[in-house]
Amino acid sequence: MAFENKVVEAFIEIPTGSQNKYEFDKERGIFKLDRVLFSPMFYPAEYGYLENTLALDGDPLDILVITTNPTFPGCVIDTRVIGYLNMIDSGEEDAKLIGVPVEDPRFDEVQSIEDLPQHKLKEIAHFFERYKDLQGKRTEIGTWEGPEAAAKLIDECIARYNETKKQ
């Protein structure tokens, strides 16, 4: 039986091309400007998270959704997960899922990060390698992983979230 990519709901906080880093305040139900990037760089894809997950950094699992056009903070995108980027941010593991919108026919053939143009992967890696330089913070880029590894990572983050809810 062939592997089927996970489809998730990506909750978008930051649209493609933004220099503003927004965060959703669940208690107040609002988006708040967390900061403007110190570097003259812009998010290379829609940036958000998966609800009801807990990554190793203590936050919900991050996701980048590659779209044809920018969306808006609060948009929920049905997303086919095609892989993830391993990275270290300020000494902590901080994986970034990569996905494409299910509802955009331009991405119908994209099932793995290997199906994306190599230049797009380089843009994403470059952004996360450099976007905190002027803050004096360090990030390290690791390996790219495919959709099977991404599905496993999502399951682990859901289990971690459910375990902390029990406590």
Task: Give the DSSP H/E element, type plus range, for residue 125.
Answer: helix 118-130
Q: What is the dihedral of CA 23, 157, 67, 101, to 10 degrees?
A: -130
Q: Which amino acid is residue 56, in one-letter code? A: L
Q: Please count the other Cβ atoms lying within 10 Å of the Cβ belonging to residue 66.
A: 22
Annotated binding site for substrate: 21, 35, 47, 131
Annotated binding site for Mg(2+): 57, 62, 94
Burial class (CB in 10 A: 0-12, 13-18, 19+), 22: buried
Annotated binding site: 21, 35, 47, 57, 62, 94, 131
Backbone conformation region of residue 29, classed left if phi is above 0, alpha if psi is from -120 to 50, else beta: left
